[in-house]
Structure 1
Amino acid sequence: MSKEKVRLDKTCLNCNHVADQRYCPHCGQENTLSRKSFHHIFIHFFEDLTHYDNSFWKTIFSLFFKPAALTKAYMSGKRLSYLNPIRLYIFISFVTFLMISLFPNNPEKEITAAVTKQKQVIIPTIDSLHIEEKSVDGLTKVGLLSQQNNDTIKKILQQTDKIEKIKNAQTTDSIPKKEVADFGYKSINELDSIQKHGGKKVQVSNTEYWFLKKWLTVKEENTNEQIVEKFTESFTNNLPKLLFMYMPVFAFVLWLFHDKKKWYYYDSGIFTLHYFSFILLLVLTLFFIDKIFILFGKNPILEWVHFSLKSLGIFWMIYYFFPAHRRFYGNKFIVSLAKSSAIIIINSVVITFLLVLFALYTYSNIH
């Protein structure tokens, strides 16, 4: 319950009805002051999404570990016990893609940045240390440094050795560097010349010409790293839109495979919202697992644990649909297995086709 003080004026600010208690009996608005702190707005936003009570964690647990239980409970009328399906999907989608965008997924760049930073710290430190020369009886002697300076130099040398090892490892791994793609054309002028004056054997179709010209334009204006980075960033940023737009298609395929008199499209839509929410939640979980194990470095035992957890997560992602489908629609095992397999195959083909189109769209928008 809110801790805000109730207004002395009993007239509801929303509908002007008399509100004798905290909440207006006519519209349900809380009769508190309308001007509130930013902290209150921020907390209220997450309260609206998660309710900050057992319903949120109960929803997440059922979604993750009890295939179709959440959908069956919601369809049976238990609407307040669990989070709304649309609100649940939007919240998980928002958090998943926000976290993926916030945490860098390129360890090589992190190492390079760390090496550069270490260089900037070490080089001035070495330059600031100097050895005074003193001339005594015509002989040049090196002035002794203090013990503190000796310790500092040892630390600097150790850090320098580490940096050199990292640089050598990076150089070994990165040689030889290859182009992202090489289609045999060095420039747009060469492509245009071949297209205009070359024979039919070397000329390309209009579609290929557009693709190659676009590629050469992008290649001239960006390095390999920039091309990969821009494509990945654009693809990741637009992927939530693609998933959201595809959900009605997934629900439609589900609806086609079941009795139209018993199951409405709405039922398949709720099942789809919960299923896609599960996939995004598992993707987020696997993402955090990767990030956590990176912090521990390379260790055979930890790598084996990491691989086992990741394999288990991928298996659960693939297997989840089959028990969820059978429990929700109530088909016999063999019938449910056949329908589930057909649904997965059809959607896999459609998704692959859409991803190719989406990749081409992303590619066409790279500048």
Structure 2
Amino acid sequence: MSKEKLRIDKTCLNCNYVVDERYCPHCGQENTLSRKTFHHLFIHFFEDLTHYDNAFWRTIFYLFFKPASLTKAYMAGKRLSFLAPIRLYIFVSFITFLLLSLFSNETTLVKNTLKKTNKNELIIPTIDSLHIEEKSVDGLTKVGILSQQNNDTIKKILQQTKIIDKKEVADFGYKSVNELDSIQKNANEKLKVSSTEYWFLKKWLAIKEDNSNEQIIEKFTTSFSHNLPKVLFMYMPVFAFLLWLFHDKKRWYYFDHGIFTLHYFSFLLLLILTLFFVDKLFPLLGKDPILKWTHFSIKSIGIFWMIYYFFPAHRRFYGDQFFTSLFKSGFIILINLVIISLLIILFALYTFTNLS
């Protein structure tokens, strides 16, 4: 029950009907003041999504530990006892990607802060910054400052450092856009690339000229994570369509598969968020072997449950025989994995070519 004060005026602000009690008997609107504080709006937003009562926690419990029971209850008409599927997905998606983004930004901020050193701090130079070459090492060995064994060790370190320094995010054999254009115009046909490859390479080389490897990785990660919720949301109709293809069209409507998909994707996001916080929490508790074993066990169980969850959910909701359900659910998962893999590759390429 709302604790807000009622308006003195008994006329409904929405339909002008006479309101004798708290709610209008004609349209159902609460007869309270229309001007609210920001605190009220913020609290009301989460109340509207979760109801802040047993319905929210019952929904989360069913979603985690009773595969398909939530979907079956909703389809049976028990809709006030649980959160509506679309509200559940929007809430879980919002919270998941918000918290993942916040913690990701916090990690980046810590890294950037650590890079900024004060004048009084001791800065340890790297081997590359000292400009040590193999010839100078040989010279120190000749005059007796270094032994031959130390000479060999330092050379190996230098060679390994050079290999690491030369590593890039992706190297397609072109140093610049000008070099690519020159080869495309003047080289023989064997060295030229197709128009699609040329377009991609030109985009990529332009990005490399304006950004370092670290900047490219950071921008790609940020862009990818920010747009992933949109990709998942757009993929859900495809997932539901695949379910529709494999089941009786007379018994099951596309709407039914859509509800099952909303609940399944909500479960995946919520479990991903849970495992994310498990990874964040346990390192803070210490390095005790028991804690490490507990962390590993919880994470392993979570990953197993994420993979296995679809099979009992599919069988309980659609009511097929064990082997029939196993075949259908396995084939559906396999098809989805192929499609999702292709979409992730395409999305990654799209993200790379649109970095600025």
Quickly name the TM-score band, shorter chain normalised.
0.7 to 0.9
* Map 1:72-221 → 2, pairs under 5 A: 72-104=72-104, 110=110, 113-114=113-114, 116=116, 119-120=117-118, 123=120, 175=161, 176-177=164-165, 178-221=167-210
Matches of 1:323 and 1:45, distance apart in 2: 34
Change in Cα spacing, 1:109 to 1:180, as seen in structure 2 (3 Å) is farther
1:230 paired residue among 204, 209, 219: 219
The answer for the alignment partner of 2:139 in structure 1 is none
Cα distance in structure 2, aligned partners of 1:208 and 1:13: 62
Give the partner amino acid of 1:67: P
Report the Cα distance in structure 1 between the residues aligned to 2:179 and 2:36, rounded to whole angstroms.
Answer: 65
Once residues 22 and 109 of structure 2 are traced to their aligned partners in structure 1, the CA distance between those partners, rounded to angstroms, is 55
For the structure 1 residues 39 and 287, does the alpha-carbon distance in structure 2 shift closer, same or farther, using more than 3 Å as the test?
Answer: same
2:21 aligns with 21
Aligned match of 2:275 in 277, 286, 297? 286
Q: For residues 178 and 232 of structure 2, what CA distance do their matches in structure 1 show?
A: 39
TM-score by length of 2: 0.85
Measured after TM superposition, the shift of residue 114 of structure 1 is: 3.5
Give the deviation of 1:230 after TM superposition: 0.8
> How far off is 1:300 after superposition?
3.9
The DSSP-based 3-state class of the residue aligned with 1:104 is: helix
Aligned mates of 2:327, 2:189 — CA distance in 1: 49
Measure, in 1, the Cα distance between the counterparts of 2:289 and 2:107.
19
What is the aligned counterpart of 1:311 among 300, 305, 308? 300
The corresponding residue for 2:138 is none
User: How far apart are the structure 2 equivalents of 1:73 and 1:208?
Assistant: 52
Question: What number of residue pairs does the alignment pair up?
Answer: 322
Q: Residue 120 of structure 2 aligns to a residue in which SS?
A: helix
CA offset at residue 69 of structure 1? 0.5
- TM-fit CA distance, 1:7: 1.4
SS of structure 2 residue aligned to 1:10: coil
Equivalents in 1 of 2:348, 2:168: separation in Å? 19
Deviation string for 1:154-210 (max 9, x for gaps)? xxxxxx7xx97xx99xxx9x9523111111111111111111111122111111111
Moved more, 237-246 or 183-192: 183-192
Query: For residues 9-50 of structure 1, what are the alpha-carbon distances to aligned partners after superposition, in whole Å with 9 as ceiling and x for unaligned?
Result: 111111100110000001111111112222111111110010
- Farther-moved stretch of structure 1 (106-115 vs 319-328): 106-115
Question: Could you say what secondary structure the match of 1:281 adopts?
Answer: helix
1:49 maps to 49
Amino acid at match of 1:227: I
Aligned partner letter, 2:174: Y
SS at match of 1:16: coil
Give the structure-1-normalised TM-score. Answer: 0.83
Take 2:9 and 2:301, find their aligned partners in 1: how far apart are those partners?
59
The CA deviation string for residues 233-287 of structure 1, in whole angstroms up to 9 with x for no partner, is: 1111111111111111100110111111111111111000000000000111111
Q: Deviations over 1:297-350 (max 9, x none)?
A: 544443332222222111111100000000000011100000001100111111
Q: CA deviation at 1:293?
A: 2.2
Identity score, percent: 71
Q: Which amino acid aligns with 2:260?
A: F
Question: How far apart are 1:115 and its partner, in Å?
Answer: 6.3
Cα drift, residue 111 of structure 1: 5.1
Could you tell me which runs of 5 or more consecutive residues in structure 2 were left unpaired when the two chains were aligned. 128-156
Paired with 1:51 and 1:358, the residues of 2 have a C-alpha distance of 36
One-letter amino acid of the counterpart of residue 197, structure 1: N
Shift of 1:294: 3.2
Q: Which moved more, 1:355-364 or 1:222-231?
A: 355-364
Aligned equivalent of 1:276: 265
Larger radius of gyration: 1
5+ residue gaps in structure 1?
Answer: 125-159
CA-CA distance at 1:68 after TM superposition: 0.2
